[in-house]
Amino acid sequence: MVTSADLKLSHGQLFMRKLEQPSMLLSALLSVIHPNLYSTAKDAMQKLHEDPRLGAAAAEWPSVFSGLQVISNRLTPHHRDFKSRCSWYDILCSVGPYTDASLSLSNLGVKLEYKSGSVVAIGGRIVQHGVEAYSGERVCFAYFMRANVHERLRVPNASWSTMQGIRERFM
pLDDT tens by residue, 11-58: 767 777 888 999 999 999 999 999 999 999 999 999 998 988 887 878
- CB within 8 A of 127, min separation 6: which ones? 80, 105, 107, 108
User: Can you give the CATH number for the domain in which 17 is found?
Assistant: 3.60.130.30
Whether residue 67 is contained in a domain is answered as yes
CA torsion 46→81→122→101, rounded to 10°?
A: 120
Cβ contact 90:53 at 8 Å: no
* Structural domain contains residue 65: yes
Q: Establish if 168 belongs to a structural domain.
A: no
Q: Is 89 a domain residue?
A: yes
Could you tell me if residue 107 is inside a domain? yes
> pLDDT: is 4 or 168 the higher one?
168
Q: Does the residue 16 lie in any domain?
A: yes
Residue from 110, 101, 108, 8 nearest 61 by CA: 8
Question: What's the predicted TM-score (pTM) here?
Answer: 0.87
- Residue 88: DSSP 8-state: P
Q: Which residues pair with 131 in a beta bridge?
A: 76, 103
Q: State the pLDDT at residue 31.
A: 93
User: Which residue segment(s) compose the domain that 123 sits in?
Assistant: 7-153
- Classify residue 160: in a domain, yes or no: no
Q: How confident is the model at residue 7 (pLDDT cuts 50, 70, 90)?
A: low
Q: DSSP states of 107-168 as a string?
A: GGTEEEE--TTEEEEE-TTTS-EEE---EE--EEEEEE--HHHHHHTTPPPP----HHHHHH
Over residues 112-117, the mean pLDDT reads 96
54 in a domain, yes or no? yes
Q: Give the total number of structural domains in the chain.
A: 1
Distance CA 75, CA 124 (A): 17
Residue 98: its H or E element: strand 98-99
